[in-house]
């Protein structure tokens, strides 16, 4: 049974190359014919891991190709996910499984609403990869990926084991939303501040009080949502992530520095309306969102 990977960027490239290398049938779906021609001219997908770069001649196709899709990895950014799934919706088999790799929250529901018959599995990953050039991906540090159903009612799919053998650290969870919310909270406490202070993650240690205030409001929000376990020890984990990734630029800072749209709508932009609905005051988070939007506007970037 073939895998399809939609979104041949950093994470999509990493997943696709590892599947191909492991002997799994896999096809890339590229945005359109010009992109397909560009990919074919380069001879395939390049993956650098450590000192080794390999070229993998994965088959690729356009969204409108005729073959049906049974297992799909959706690996584009959150803000592109809905449009991307719509471009292949007609090709999905009735019992298709879709693995959603998007960070933050909000895009997963939008995708599931577009393809109500498919089984949408949500992932929360700390795997790292970046694009050296188009169709050349660099694996940037091993992480782990939690996968689960939204309602946590079904068993892990049998292919989880197969993928673990290909170099992924995958774990099944009955509570993927709690994992996604915890990651969202960590990203809300770190990423916007790195943009505002234009700093690497580790430099946030000089803004410890600001980080602590944000963690306290984020933990209160998680508790108010009935996600008390996801709130526990949030500040300590944020501090640990800042220390462990001290030398990194956050993904949001990287987006801003590259002049690209950020995923803020799926992080702070997703959390704040929920706080409002729950009538929970979160003044520090509101102020952070305003400051971030102002900075994005200054840089000529979309504020959503």
CB of 269 vs ligand KPL, minimal distance in Å:
15
> Which residues have CB under 8 Å from 24's CB, separation 6+?
3, 162, 166
Question: Judged by CB, which is closer to ligand KPL: 28, or 176?
Answer: 176
**Which tokens hold the place of 267?**
């992080």
Distances (CA, A) of 59 to 4, 24, 40, 73, 155: 10, 12, 9, 15, 31
**Which tokens hold the place of 30?**
């590229």
> 201 near 248, Cβ under 8 Å?
yes
183 is catalytic: yes
Q: Which residue in 291, 281, 277, 124 sits closest to 216, CA to CA?
A: 281
User: Binding residue for ligand KPL (CB under 6 A) from 29, 139, 190, 275?
Assistant: 190
Instruction: Give the footprint of ligand NAD on this chain (CB under 6 A).
Output: 6-12, 30-31, 75-78, 80, 83-84, 87, 101-103, 125, 127-129, 131, 251, 263
Pick one of ligand KPL, ligand NAD, none as the site partner of residue 70 (Cβ within 5 to 8 A by kind): none
Q: Which residues pair with 136 in a beta bridge?
A: 46, 133
Distances (CA, A) of 271 to 120, 145, 159, 202: 22, 22, 33, 24
- Quick note: the x/- pattern for ligand KPL over 146-185, rule CB under 6 A, is ----------------------------------------
3-state secondary structure of 122: strand
Pick one of ligand NAD, ligand KPL, none as the site partner of residue 111 (Cβ within 5 to 8 A by kind): none
CB of 61 vs ligand KPL, minimal distance in Å:
30
- Quick note: the x/- pattern for ligand KPL over 194-233, rule CB under 6 A, is -------x--------------------------------
210 C-beta neighbours (distance < 10 Å), count: 16
CB of 243 vs ligand KPL, minimal distance in Å:
11
Contact call for residue 251 and ligand KPL (CB under 6 A)? yes
Q: Is the dihedral of CA 195, 199, 201, 206 positive or negative?
A: negative
Pick one of ligand NAD, ligand KPL, none as the site partner of residue 178 (Cβ within 5 to 8 A by kind): none
Q: Which residues bind ligand KPL (CB under 6 A)?
A: 186-187, 190-191, 201, 241, 245, 248, 250-251
Q: Which residues are designated catalytic?
A: 183
């Amino acid at each position: 049974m073939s895998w399809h990977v939609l979104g041949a960027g950093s994470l999509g490239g990493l997943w696709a190359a590892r599947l191909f290398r492991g002997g799994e049938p896999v096809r890339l779906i590229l945005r359109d014919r010009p992109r397909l021609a560009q990919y074919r001219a380069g001879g395939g997908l390049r993956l650098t891991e450590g000192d080794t770069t390999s070229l993998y001649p994965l088959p690729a196709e356009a969204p409108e190709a005729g073959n049906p899709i049974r297992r799909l990895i959706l690996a584009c950014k959150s803000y592109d996910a809905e449009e991307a799934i719509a471009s292949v919706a007609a090709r999905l088999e009735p019992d298709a499984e879709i693995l959603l790799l998007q960070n933050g929250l909000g895009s997963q529901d939008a995708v599931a609403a577009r393809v109500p018959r498919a089984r949408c599995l949500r992932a929360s990953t700390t795997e790292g990869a970046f694009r050296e050039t188009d169709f050349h991906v660099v694996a940037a540090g091993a992480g782990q990926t939690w996968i689960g159903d939204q309602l946590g009612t079904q068993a892990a799919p049998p292919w989880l084991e197969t993928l673990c053998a290909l170099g992924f650290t995958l774990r099944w969870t009955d509570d993927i939303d709690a994992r996604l919310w915890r990651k969202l909270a960590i990203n809300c406490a770190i990423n916007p501040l790195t943009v505002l202070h234009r700093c690497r993650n580790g430099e946030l240690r000089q803004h410890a009080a600001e980080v602590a205030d944000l963690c306290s409001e984020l933990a209160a929000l998680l508790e108010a949502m009935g996600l008390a376990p996801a709130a526990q020890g949030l500040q300590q984990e944020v501090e640990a992530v800042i220390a462990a990734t001290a030398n990194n630029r956050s993904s949001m800072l990287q987006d801003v520095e590259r002049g690209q749209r950020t995923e803020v709508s799926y992080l702070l932009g997703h959390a704040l309306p929920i706080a409002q609905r729950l009538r929970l005051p979160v003044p520090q988070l509101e102020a952070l969102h305003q400051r971030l939007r102002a900075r994005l506007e200054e840089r000529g970037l979309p504020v959503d």
